[in-house]
Amino acid sequence: MFKQPVSSSDFDRNFRSEVVKYPDASGLSACFSCGACTAGCPIHEVFPEYNPRKLAKMVKLGMRKQVLSSPYIWDCATCHNCEQRCPQNVKFYNVLNVLKNMAAKEGHAPFCWIKQTEQVAKTGIVFPTEEKWVKRREELSLPPLKLDGKKAKKIIELSGADKIKAEDSK
């Protein structure tokens, strides 16, 4: 992945503007590819294939297909170090969220996140009601949880997140 030579004729020239029009990703235009994000990234350190600078560069070049279908965009630990290190105030965590949202709409979201959003629409939290912990709360004299997903379901529908489907293979 990412190692095949690319031809500039395959670039989608509109991809960059498509991404930066989202307020969360607007800062990306200021990126000059210094790599401070990658140098401070804990995921990159244990898994060098995950490389924020490379992803940012690919977006700027217009490598739409490669970026949105890449499994790596889902590997961020959300620690915000990249943003903390960036001399240009690019909030790469937020840029990545925009990329994930775009990828999700095109069917590339990992099943775990789709399942989790479905769960939230049922109980309002990311877990189902399980007798094991309900009972334990009782034993520990902790108040019962209400777990009503009605509000969350409505919100998820309003945002269109309920329409997102997993890739066939996942």
**Residues contributing to the site for other proteins (CB under 8 A):** 22, 24, 42-43, 46-47, 74-81, 83-84, 91, 93, 97-98, 100-101, 104, 109-110, 112-114, 116-117, 120, 124-127, 130, 133, 136-137, 140, 142-143, 145-146, 148-149, 151-152, 154-156, 158-161, 164
Residues contacting 33, CB < 8 A, separation 6+? 53, 56, 57, 60
Residues contacting 132, CB < 8 A, separation 6+? none
Q: Which of 61/164 has CB closer to other proteins?
A: 164
Contact present, 36 and 81 (Cβ < 8 Å) = no
Q: Which of 6/126 has CB closer to other proteins?
A: 126
Q: How far is the CB of 51 from other proteins (least distance, A)?
A: 14
Tokens describing residue 110 = 């990992």
Q: Which of 61/156 has CB closer to other proteins?
A: 156
Contact present, 24 and 98 (Cβ < 8 Å) = yes
